[in-house]
Structures are given as structure tokens and as C-alpha cells.
Amino acid sequence: MKDIFRTRRMWRPRGELKRRYDVVVVGGGAHGLATAYYLARNHGITDVAVLEKSYIGSGAAGRNTTIIRSNYRTPEGAAFYQQSVELYKGLSRELDFNLLFSQLGHLTLAHSDRALITATERAEVNQLLGIESRLVGLDEIAKLCPELDLSTEVTWPVLGALYHPPGGIIRHDAVVWGLARSADRRGVEIHPYTEVTGIERANGRVTGVRTNRGEIACDAVVSATAGWSTLVADLAGVPLPITTHILQAFVTEPLKPFLDVIIVSSQMHVYVSQTDRGEILIGAEIEPYTTYRGTSTFPFLEYSARHVLELFPQLESARVLRQWTGLCDISPDFSPILGVTEVAGFLVSAGWGTYGFKAAPIVGTTLAELVATKRTPALIAPFALERFSTDTLVSELAAAAVSH
Amino acid sequence: MRLPAQPGERLDRTRPLTFTFEGATVEAFEGDTIASALYAGGRRVFSRSFKYHRPRGLLCCTGSCPNCLMQVDGAPGIRACIEPARAGAVVRAQNVLGSLDRDALAVIGKIGGPFTPVGFYYRTMIRPRWAWPYYEKVLRNLAGLGRVDRHGRRTRRFDTEHRRTQVLVIGGSEGGVTAARAAAAAGEQVVLVDEGLSLELGGLDELGIEVVAPARAIGIYEGGLVPVDAGNVLLRFRAERIVVATGSLDQPLVFPGNDLVGVMLPNGIRRLVREWALRPGERAVVIAPAVEPIVDDLRAAGTEVARVFDLNERPPKEIVARGRKGRLASVRVDGETVACDLLVMSSGRQPAYSLLAQAGARIEYDAATGIFVPRDLPANVEAAGSVAGTSHAVPNLFPASAGKRRFVCLCEDVTTKDVRRAIAEGFDSLELAKRYTTVTMGPCQGRLCHLASVRLYARETGSDEAAIGTTTARPPWSPVTLGLLAGRGHEPVKHTSLHRRHEELGARMMWAGAWRRVHSYGDPAEETRAVHRAVGVIDVSTLGKLVVSGPDAVAFLERLYPNRFVDLKPGRIRYGVLGTDAGRIMDDGTIGRLSEQQLYVTTTSTGAEAVLEWFEWWNAVWRMDVEIVDVTGALAAVNVAGPNARELLGRLTELDVSPDGFRYLDLKEAPVAGTPCLLLRIGFVGELGYEIHCPSPLAEHLWDTLLERGADLGVRPFGLEAQRILRLEKQHIIVGQDTDSESNAIDAGMPWIVKLDKEDFVGKWALEHLQERGPRERLVGFELDGAAVPAEGSQVVVAGRPAGRVTSARWSDELQRSIGLAWVPPALAEEGSRLEIRLNGSLQPAVVRARPFFDPEGTRLRS
């Protein structure tokens, strides 16, 4: 409360780059800042520079559709995200910054028998791991979301849903700013408009980075650059099995409360929520083509509108205010690539596809632990880059596709 | 309260009409907008602001600002100043508690101000955590503008039209009309799209120019696509040349009281007076560059012009507007106070460049004119008129003064103080500050606040506008309804050519992708019995069907599938599993060799489209001499299965159907029931069976004949549910249900189809690797003790952790057992292994059965 009557800087103005840091984090998004924050908070490692080529939160962290959930399909994935949700729950207090995390509840609609099987499987896996998640029928869906069109005379009638009460939405920019503020206050340096142009190595080890503002020596580099992951990893000579696609979203003009739950439909390729400002926020599946060009397309608006109106015909007169795109780094098995690479000291958080944002705190804690202890935490072991050479993939396709 | 007829006014005074506002009747003329009619009736407050619920009146009258957003016939966010008045329209205010004139929520603006600075919600309501949902509920109820009926339906029909033209002119401004005329004179085909705000469009059609108005360009998208909102029709334009003539927008001055009702922009005055014959106020003060036209307009309306300040001559150091109950009462300029009810103000005009920016133009600040101008236009896109950058604005005009709120952004109620505070807190780049203060993020999309916010930023950070730059111009340029975007509200359902027959038989239908298929005709168990004891028929027309032919046809499939086909003789069939590059199962089906160079490939129902794409893609990559024809819709298919199938088929065809004449996995072409058919002897359901493919139009005849001639043999139609039970008894998999995106043929228990000794095929390296590595999990059959059937998706549990999953499970009437398929760890995959399956929260014992539950030797299938 006191902070509303006085103006206090969130973070120090950008200073000069030092010649050396213990750790350099590439990417001033949610993952990079969380890693820096937890390095300082959990391990006392504060000689850290976060390098961001634009402003903080300018990439995926500020473009995602802000959904937080843990109802994944694989035990590995679900356990991981469960801890992320737990961390998010306490994060507003921890950072003393209201992230506006609203656990409204999350409904993944099933429009076919097969989707019901997947929903059942996720519910069962979730329940075994202690995650609140269950299959619900039409009666309960109607109670949770009376606005939803549940009639059967449509092409894709709703047959049931996976209900995940802890699922929610959060203010994504606030997560970035809150983490940046706390990291800065603990001594981490944040350098916006600082682009990494090279990664120095000697004897298979990282020794430093080159930037548009000069060279820095360091022992460890953590790359958390989402859609640009492959390009940054290339600088370290590490090929990543990732392709970059765009994902699009749009908001309508703000409306009075209409939707108090998050609706996801893989069949319709959409997910729908209402922000605290009242905008209806609608996202879709990634575009099938690979690109780094973040141009919004019109067909996206058309098919999303068509699908949204199948679920919510009453939104016919709602108006699209703004559309945008973000870059997604897609891995072959739709699971992330997290941790060490063949270059010692070069760590990655990549391959997040469409669901990196919800993992930010757990990525931060585990990567920080890895940097500090040089041991990979068990929780992220299944997501090692190495799995693509041993072919021990973690299939999240079923729960990742349009399940933001 | 209208003025006498004005030259060129829009009104047709011979055609009065009425609509209602908040239940009261409002009189209007044809040609009025909702706002002009309300203004004529004396209304001055048109909306309440987003955050502070301050009264707001007409400002721009061009649909650019948020000040007149209303609900019209239930639709939220209608710009009343450009919405034509319609007889019988039901108009309501939005975002008020009470009425526009007495809004109880105005208390937030009055006393809440100090507690609600920019970003206050990030700093408050953090503790106690349990209270947040309650706070949030309050916040959510306060937020938002318009309302949609929670239980409304789609009411309007929208269509989409694809249009082409040589020249598309967007905007009927002077520049636009000139460009259109020139193009038409040069013999080009021209379409001009106008919002309906321009008056000078008469006579253009005589020149052969097609005028589309009122209509709004939504954006300029990839490939020069320009979607246009033309009411009930979405026009998707593609033009050889796009001329953007969107003109320029009046930019408000930022001073205390700049949002009072009675403060207006010059263009708003012009439209009220000239188009709707209204007197905008009684006594006016003008502060603007280029004051003469404004003064002319005011005098024409009989408004007293009390004082004029020409910004081009001497920008004032101080401007303070004061009001009473939100309405303008006086203006103080450099110490001089003038009583007035109207303040016409502007700092100049900014090109409306958004469409050009979306098209790829670079936006640059021009210090000489004080505006952002488009540069480096992409090929085939031109700017005509003031949008090109011929206007100007008075730079850096923030008259000093203390105390009252000065609004930079009217949509979001962001004040100069808010922006200043954001910068002081460290949000020191424009994009960051935009997200923190939400300036430019409201319904006006920055039309009236972008320039002012950049100026303020420049000033506060000791920088200049050129260095601060612009934020991304995001589409759409004008807000567009979901209804228009969606077009016709339907997605087609697919029916097989036997659909009518199923309905006549009273079938229970189910949804399989977009297909409607038969679940059962009443009793699935009875249907399985018919297949086991007599004969059943099932409609399998939804199967994907491809004819692959050409000299390289066999070699092509040899490369696509892990199976071997070179030794497949004409007239024989092989089961095939299609794999991805990573060796994962993509689809399955049968491959029958029709002749040396022609094969018939079936796919799963849901995989049909993906497999066709996959085939075509590889055909394009390999450039083999292969032709692929999709005959999915052209051919219907009926599977006839059961011990009496041979007898039934024999009655309908001349073909030798004896066990030696028509062997298991034989493929034959022959008439059945007088219909040319392709017959595949295969056995998905585990009994002697023939899949009969025939031309779709003849399917009903084939079906009818089968049922008729098989009556004494006990023939019965069966549905998908019976088929699922029957195939499960045989442990035949369904791709997509029993497999997922990571399943491979080796782990799925079909190593025999993978021919690693072949030279190459898609996914070979991966399968070699998988072979070497050994399985991580295996797909096996299981039987459950007792009658319970686990839900598909249930977990196989080891030591309390999920270790495997049930993909299929059914009660088999034939076996009197609960059976299923499950992925389990290799250690549990041996015949007789004990499993525990979680069922309704408790663990049930089960036993692994590695071989088919029914007829494991396949003697019935091959009989």
C-alpha cells in the first residue's frame, strides 16, 4: 500500500557493462529474469548480468496468453508444472508485486471420443500426482460456464471436459517486472538493448560473450531466448532440434464480465479467457510454417472468429481491438530442452513452444540450482538435450497442442 | 434544435425517424448518426470514462475517439458519432451505474484518484492472499465497457466476397479522390473505399470508379490483402496498386480539464455544423493552428466566438479549462479567463499512417512539421493526400500548470502525472511504458494519444520524438466484429452415402472427426454376436482411399512405408503402418496391388487428409513417376464379416468365393449385386470378412441387397461400438487411440512389418535406433479380474506412480471378460504379468495377455 503514495524506482537505470560476471543470462524475459532472480535469492550468486536485445519482456513473456496450469499428460511434465503453479501462487507475496494471478479454473473441452480418452488420461495422471484435475460432464460444464454453447446440433458438440480448478491467468508483464525488480534489488544487473553477437569458448568451455556494447568474460551462459534459441545456441556451436513458428492472438475491446473460466478447445484450435481489464483474449494453434517474421495474418482472425463463435455465439458483436504474434520454439516432442549442452557452461532453456511462460518460476529455480551446484535437478532430467540422441522423448503433443 | 438547412448537409429532412435512448424516444432525420440526433435533442454527455467514470462528450465525431461508445441493439462499443441513426434502434449507455448523467461510479474519479495512480493494482491487494479473489471480482466488475448478452445467439448473417481490382483507394479524402480520378482517367479499374465521412464522392461512378461506402479497411496484410468491413459483407480485396488516403487526424492538446464535456476537436465542429446542421455551443474559445476554418464553422452555426488563440502565431504558456459537473464553464489562457461552453482545440493534424505502417512503411519523426510521417513505402503501396505527411502539428506543447488532471489518453484515463510517474519508476522506454500505463492500448488504438504520449516521453526523459520513436501499429486499423470475420456460422458435417439408411434403421450416431458415424443400431453386444455367429455389415466408407499408380508406384510406397511391397503380387493385400521421419506411427491401413503399376491404399478415417498430404509432399520431394488420386469420397465401403459372409457374398457375385478361389488378403475386382466393386478380403473384426468398395452413388443399392439377401443368414448391420469390441478381442490397434505421437511400430508389437534390411524408407534411421535401444514401453493386451471396465486413459500404476496407460478397454460378451490394450513398462509386458490399473480411484488387478483374446491362431479369419 505504501508504494502507491510514493514513487520508487523499480530497477536501477542501465549501467555500464562490467568486463566480467560470474553468470551471463541471455534474454530478459520471464525465464531469464527468473533464473537471475533465483540465482541471487536461493544461491547468493549476484554477480549476474541479464542481457536483453530489446526491452525486458519484449519477446514471448509479453506476448503469451498468460495461462498458468499443470494438467499435463506425461508424469514428467505434470510434476514439473505442478511445482511451477505452486511457485506462482506464492510469487506475488514473495516479490511484493501483485501479479494478478487468478485461479479461475481451466476447462479443456473434448469434442470427440478420442479427446475424452486424452482428457481421462490427463485427469488420471494428474490425480496420481496430487494435481486437482478431473473429467466433467455437460451438467458441470454448464454450471462452470453457462455462456458456452452446449447444443448438440453443431459440427463439433462438446462431449465433456477436463477441469483443472487451479488453472488461471496472470498479468504477464507484471511477472517480468516483479522478477526484474527483485533481481535488481538483490544486485543482478539488467541490461536492456544489449544484444549478444557471439559466445566465446575455449577447450569446450564457455569463456565469455560478445555484445553490441562490448565483450564480457564469464563462467556460465544461460540462454533463455525462446523463438531465437537456435540462433543463440548457434553462437555457442550447439545445434538445437528446434524450429521457430509464429503463434497469434488477439483481444477484443473490453467487455463487462462475461467469462469467469478459461476455455480451451483443441478441436476448435482456440482458447478463450477474459482479462481483468475485460478484454476477451483469444489465441490459436501455432502457424504451420516456420518463420522469424512476426507479422499478423488476417486468415488467423477469420478462422479464430469462426471457431470462437462456435463456442460463444453471443460474441458475434464483440470487436477485435488488437492482434499480435509471438515466436515459438518447437521441439520434436513438444517438451522443453532444459539444462546442460555439450559446451560446458552453456545452458539452455528452450523448446518451450507455446507453454514456456507457465514454467518461468520452476525453470528459474532449477536452472539456478544447476548453475550453482553444477548438478542437474531430478525434476528437469527428463528434459535434457541429450534425449534426442538417446531417443527418450517425452510426448506432450496431446496436452500441449492448443492447451495453453 | 436544428439550424436552417446547410449547404451540403447530410440530412433528409423529409424523412424523420425515431429510435430510443435509455428507453426515451429520440427524433432524428435520415442522414443523422445516433450521436448527431442525440446532440440535436440536447444530450451532451455521451459516455463515462474507463477508470474514473468522468463524463465525456463528443470530441472527434469521426469514430476515432472513445467518447461516444454506446450499446446499439445489444452490440457493445458502437461509435455513436458514425453509426447511422436507424428507425427503431435501441440505444443504451455503457459502463455506467445509474445513468450517463448520474453515474454512481463517478465516486472513483472523485475520491479514488490518490489511491489509484498508474499501476496501483500491482502494489496493492497482495496480502492477505485469500482476499485477492474478492478484490479481483470487484476489479473485474469495474473494468470493461460494453456488455454482451450472456445467453445471446448469432442473429446476423455475414458473407465474404473475394474481390480484385487494379487500383484500390482507401479513403475518400481529397487526395484519395484525386488519385482515384487520375487512375480512372488512365483507364485503370478503380475501387474507392470510404468510411462514409466524405461528402465529395458524387460523380465518381460516372468515371467508372466503384465507390464502396460506408466501409472501412481493416488492415493491409501479407500479400497486399486488404479486408474491408462493408457492413454485412467482408470484402477481401487484392489490388495491383493500393493507394492509402486515410488523411490525418486532429490531435488534442494536453492541458488541465482537456477532457471536459464541451472540449472538441475542429473536425468534430465541422461535422456537427456542416453535416447535421447543429449548433455545437453558445460561446466558444478556439485554440488551434489554422483557426480560420474553425471560426467560419462556428459563425455559420451562430456560435459566439469569444476568443481565438492561433498556435501558429503564439503558443500559450498556460491553458486551464474549468468545468461544473464535468461540463466546460470557462477557459483560462495565460492568465485571461473566458467564460464559454465550447472549447475547440487542436495541436495540429497527424497523418493516419497505420495502414501504411502495417504494409511495411517505416515511420519517422519529422522535426520540421512536428509529426510522424511514413517513409520507404513498399512496392505497389502509395500514400495520397495528407497521410503522406503534408500536415503539421505544434510540437512539445504541454502548457505548464499545476493541480488538475491532464489526460494524455482518454480511453484509459491516463494522465500526464501517470506517465511521469511511470518514467520515474523506471519504465523508461516507450514500449515498456505503454504496457505499464496502458496508454494507446484502448479502443482509439492510439489515434488521439500516440503523438501526445511520445511528446510527453521525449520531454520527461530529456530526449526527442525522433529518438523515442513509435510503437508497433497493430492491426486491425478499425475494430471489426467477430461476426463479420467469421462469415457464415457453420462448419460442414460429413455424411457417408449410407447416412440415410442408418437413419432409417434408427441408428444411434456418434461424432468421429467431422464424420457422423453409426455408434450402434441399438444393442452393440447383440451386433458382435451376429458377427461371431452369423454375418454383420458395417459402413466403413469413411476410410481414406487412394489410388497410387505409375511406373514408380511400388518404389514410392516402398520408400514411404517400413513394409516391403516389391514382392506383393497383383491381387494381394498387405497391412501397412505409415511412419514419420522419426519412426513414429502416423497411420495404418491396407495396401492392395491392383496391377503391376497400380495400388489401392486405404487409410484410417481421421488420418485420410493427412496421409494424402504426406503422399503428395513426398511425391513432390522425390519427383518419382507416380500419380496419386484421392477416391475417398468417390467410393463407399461396406465390410461384410462373419461365418456366413462367404455364403452371402456368393449369392451376389459370380466370383469364385471358395476358400481357395478367394484367399485371405486377396484383392479382386468384380460386380457385386450388379455393382462394379473392389473386394478386399481382410479381417479387422477377426472373422471371415470382405471389405466391398463400390461407387458411392450405388452404395445404397449394395447395402439394401446385402441386408435383403442375407436375411435368412442372420445378417445384421453393426456400428462402431461393436467393431471396437470385435477388433479389441483380436488386439488390433486403432492408430491415434492406441498409439500417440511417440509410438512406434516396434514397441507397439508389430516388429514384423518393419523391414530394416530395405535400402531406405522414411524413418528408417529412427527405427534402427529404436530396435537397438530396445523398447521403453510396450503395447499389450490385458484382462481384468471381474466385470469392471476401466475408462480408456486409466493409468497402470507401479509403486503409486503412473507407469503405463490403458488405451482401449471393453467388456467382451463373447469372452465374458473385461479386456483391453495398455502401454506398460517392458518388465510388465510378458504373458501373465500382473498389473494394477487405477479404476475409480482404487487399484484393480489385471493380467497381461500377449496374444489375441479371440481366435489367437486366426483360423476363423483365414477360413
Give the tens place of pLDDT for each residue, B474-516. 899 989 999 999 998 667 889 999 999 999 999 999 988 789 9
- Burial (CB count within 10 angstroms: exposed 0-12, middle 13-18, buried 19+), residue A204: exposed
Write down the mean pLDDT value for chain A.
Answer: 93
**Which residue in A has a C-alpha nearest to residue B803's C-alpha?**
A75
Instruction: For residue A157, list chain B residues with Cβ-Cβ distance below 8 A.
Output: 511
Q: What span, in angstroms and rounded, lies between the C-alpha atoms of B594 and B588?
A: 19
Question: Can you give the pLDDT at residue B17?
Answer: 97
Round to the nearest angstrom and report the end-to-end CA distance of chain B: 95
Whether residues A253 and B146 touch (CB distance < 8 A) is answered with yes
Tell me which architecture the domain covering B253-346 has in CATH: 3-Layer(bba) Sandwich (3.50)
Q: Can you spell out the DSSP letters for B85-154?
A: P-TT-EEEE-S-SB-SSSBGGGHHHHHSGGG--TTHHHHSS-SSGGGHHHHHHHHHHHS-SB---TT---
CA-to-CA separations, B210 to B170, B179, B181, B213, B433, in angstroms, rounded: 12, 13, 11, 10, 44
H or E stretch covering A322: strand A319-330
Question: Can you give the pLDDT at residue A396?
Answer: 65
Mean pLDDT for B698-716 is 98
Question: Can you give the pLDDT at residue B708?
Answer: 98
Distance from CA of B183 to the nearest CA of A (A): 28
Task: State the fold for domain B777-863.
Answer: Elongation Factor Tu (Ef-tu); domain 3 (2.40.30)
**Which residue in B has a C-alpha nearest to residue A300's C-alpha?**
B485
Phi first, then psi: what are they for B103, rounded to 5°?
-105, 115
Whether residues A102 and B512 touch (CB distance < 8 A) is answered with no
CATH 3.50.50.60 intervals, chain B: 253-346
The residue written with cell numbers 551462459 in the block is A221
Q: Does residue A153 belong to the interface with chain B, where contact is any CB pair within 8 Å? A: no
C-alpha cell at position B691 = 471389405
Question: Can you give the pLDDT at residue B405?
Answer: 86
**Which residue in A has a C-alpha nearest to residue B75's C-alpha?**
A317
Mean pLDDT for A282-301 is 93
CATH 3.30.70.1400 intervals, chain B: 544-630
| pLDDT at position A397 over 60 | no
Task: State the fold for domain B12-126+137-142.
Answer: Ubiquitin-like (UB roll) (3.10.20)
Which among A97, A278, A316 is the nearest to B154, CB-wise? Answer: A316
CATH 3.30.1360.120 intervals, chain B: 503-543+632-732
Give the tens place of pLDDT for each residue, A303-313. 999 999 999 99
DSSP secondary-structure letter at A95?
A: H
Distance from CA of B315 to the nearest CA of A (A): 32
Whether residues A5 and B114 touch (CB distance < 8 A) is answered with yes
Whether residues B145 and A253 touch (CB distance < 8 A) is answered with yes
| pLDDT at position B107 over 80 | yes
Question: Can you give the pLDDT at residue A316?
Answer: 94
Question: Can you give the pLDDT at residue B597?
Answer: 97
Which among A13, A316, A398 is the nearest to B481, CB-wise? Answer: A316
pLDDT category, B399, cuts 50, 70, 90? low
Q: Which residues pair with A243 in a beta bridge?
A: A330
Question: A98, A99, A270: which to substitute to probe chain B, counting the most B Cβ within 10 Å?
Answer: A98
C-alpha cell at position A113 = 471420443
Nearest to A97 by CA among B351, B426, B583: B426
Q: Does residue A53 belong to the interface with chain B, where contact is any CB pair within 8 Å? A: no
Distance from CA of A81 to the nearest CA of B (A): 16
Question: A14, A66, A124, A325: which to substitute to probe chain B, counting the most B Cβ within 10 Å?
Answer: A124
Give the tens place of pLDDT for each residue, B530-556. 999 999 999 999 999 999 999 999 999
Q: What span, in angstroms and rounded, lies between the C-alpha atoms of B643 and B638?
A: 16
Question: Can you give the pLDDT at residue B193?
Answer: 96
Round to the nearest angstrom and report the end-to-end CA distance of chain A: 33
Whether residues B773 and A390 touch (CB distance < 8 A) is answered with yes
Whether residues B144 and A256 touch (CB distance < 8 A) is answered with yes
Single-letter amino acid, residue B337: T
Q: What span, in angstroms and rounded, lies between the C-alpha atoms of B93 and B77?
A: 10
Q: Can you spell out the DSSP letters for B499-566?
A: HHHHHHTTPEEEEETTEEEEEESS-HHHHHHHHHHSEEEEE-TTSEEEEEESTTHHHHHHHHSSS--T
Q: Does residue A402 belong to the interface with chain B, where contact is any CB pair within 8 Å? A: no
- CATH node for B544-630: 3.30.70.1400
Instruction: For residue B51, list chain A residues with Cβ-Cβ distance below 8 A.
Output: none
Whether residues A100 and B474 touch (CB distance < 8 A) is answered with no
Distance from CA of B16 to the nearest CA of A (A): 27
Give the tens place of pLDDT for each residue, B277-324. 999 999 999 999 989 999 999 999 999 999 999 998 888 888 999 999
Distance from CA of A207 to the nearest CA of B (A): 32
Strands (E), B225-303: 225-230, 233-244, 248-250, 263-264, 283-288
Question: B68, B82, B125, B148: which to substitute to probe chain A, counting the most A Cβ within 10 Å?
Answer: B148
Q: Does residue A192 belong to the interface with chain B, where contact is any CB pair within 8 Å? A: yes
Counting residues of chain A whose pLDDT is more than 70, the rounded percentage is 97
Distance from CA of B425 to the nearest CA of A (A): 4
Question: Can you give the pLDDT at residue B403?
Answer: 62
Which among B160, B512, B805 is the nearest to A121, CB-wise? Answer: B805
pLDDT category, B377, cuts 50, 70, 90? very high
| pLDDT at position B856 over 90 | yes
Give the tens place of pLDDT for each residue, B56-85. 999 999 999 999 999 999 999 999 999 999
Question: Can you give the pLDDT at residue B740?
Answer: 87
Which among A10, A93, A157 is the nearest to B511, CB-wise? Answer: A157
Domains of chain A: 20-64+173-242+332-399 (3.50.50.60), 106-165 (3.30.9.10), 243-329 (3.30.9.10)
Q: Does residue A289 belong to the interface with chain B, where contact is any CB pair within 8 Å? A: no
Mean pLDDT for A14-37 is 97
Question: Can you give the pLDDT at residue B489?
Answer: 64
Phi first, then psi: what are they for B602, rounded to 5°?
-105, 150
Distance from CA of A332 to the nearest CA of B (A): 9
Distance from CA of A203 to the nearest CA of B (A): 30
Write down the mean pLDDT value for chain B.
Answer: 93
Which residue did the predictor score with more confidence, B394 or B642? Answer: B642
Distance from CA of B848 to the nearest CA of A (A): 20
Which among A75, A321, A334 is the nearest to B801, CB-wise? Answer: A75
Distance from CA of A181 to the nearest CA of B (A): 10
pLDDT category, B393, cuts 50, 70, 90? confident
Question: Can you give the pLDDT at residue B129?
Answer: 85
Q: What span, in angstroms and rounded, lies between the C-alpha atoms of B801 and A75?
A: 8
Single-letter amino acid, residue B139: L
The residue written with cell numbers 429510435 in the block is B19
Q: What span, in angstroms and rounded, lies between the C-alpha atoms of B792 and B837?
A: 11
Question: Can you give the pLDDT at residue B490?
Answer: 64
Question: B68, B234, B438, B485: which to substitute to probe chain A, counting the most A Cβ within 10 Å?
Answer: B485
CATH 2.40.30.110 intervals, chain B: 777-863
Q: What span, in angstroms and rounded, lies between the C-alpha atoms of B710 and B638?
A: 14
Q: Does residue A288 belong to the interface with chain B, where contact is any CB pair within 8 Å? A: no
ipTM metric: 0.94
Q: Does residue A13 belong to the interface with chain B, where contact is any CB pair within 8 Å? A: yes
Question: Can you give the pLDDT at residue A267?
Answer: 86
Question: Can you give the pLDDT at residue B254?
Answer: 92
- CATH node for B503-543+632-732: 3.30.1360.120
Question: Can you give the pLDDT at residue A402?
Answer: 40
Distance from CA of A78 to the nearest CA of B (A): 11
| pLDDT at position B163 over 90 | yes
Whether residues A322 and B445 touch (CB distance < 8 A) is answered with yes
Whether residues A258 and B510 touch (CB distance < 8 A) is answered with no
Q: Are A322 and B441 in contact (CB under 8 A)?
A: yes
Counting residues of chain B whose pLDDT is more than 70, the rounded percentage is 99
Instruction: Please state the separation of Cα B150 from the chain's center in Å.
Output: 20
CB atoms within 10 A of CB B766: 17
Which residues have C-beta within 8 Å of that of residue B49, sequence separation ≥ 6? B56, B66, B109, B259, B410, B413
Which among A171, A314, A320 is the nearest to B149, CB-wise? Answer: A314
| pLDDT at position B396 over 70 | no
Which among A102, A128, A395 is the nearest to B801, CB-wise? Answer: A128
Counting residues of chain B whose pLDDT is more than 90, the rounded percentage is 79
| pLDDT at position A403 over 70 | no
CATH 3.10.20.440 intervals, chain B: 12-126+137-142
Size of interface A-B (CB pairs under 8 A): 292
C-alpha cell at position A30 = 520471464
pLDDT category, B400, cuts 50, 70, 90? low
| pLDDT at position A393 over 90 | no
Q: Are B590 and B680 in contact (CB under 8 A)?
A: yes
Give the tens place of pLDDT for each residue, A320-336. 999 999 999 999 888 89
Question: Can you give the pLDDT at residue B347?
Answer: 92
Q: Among A153-157, A230-234, A356-360, B374-378, whose mean pLDDT is lowest? A: A153-157
Mean pLDDT for A182-197 is 98
Q: Does residue A397 belong to the interface with chain B, where contact is any CB pair within 8 Å? A: yes
pLDDT category, B20, cuts 50, 70, 90? very high
Q: What span, in angstroms and rounded, lies between the C-alpha atoms of B855 and B863?
A: 12
Which among A62, A113, A315 is the nearest to B435, CB-wise? Answer: A62
Mean pLDDT for A152-161 is 89
For the entire predicted model, the pTM comes to 0.92
Question: Can you give the pLDDT at residue B201?
Answer: 75
Whether residues B424 and A297 touch (CB distance < 8 A) is answered with no
Whether residues B144 and A277 touch (CB distance < 8 A) is answered with yes
Q: Does residue A342 belong to the interface with chain B, where contact is any CB pair within 8 Å? A: no
Whether residues A9 and B737 touch (CB distance < 8 A) is answered with no
Mean pLDDT for B333-351 is 95
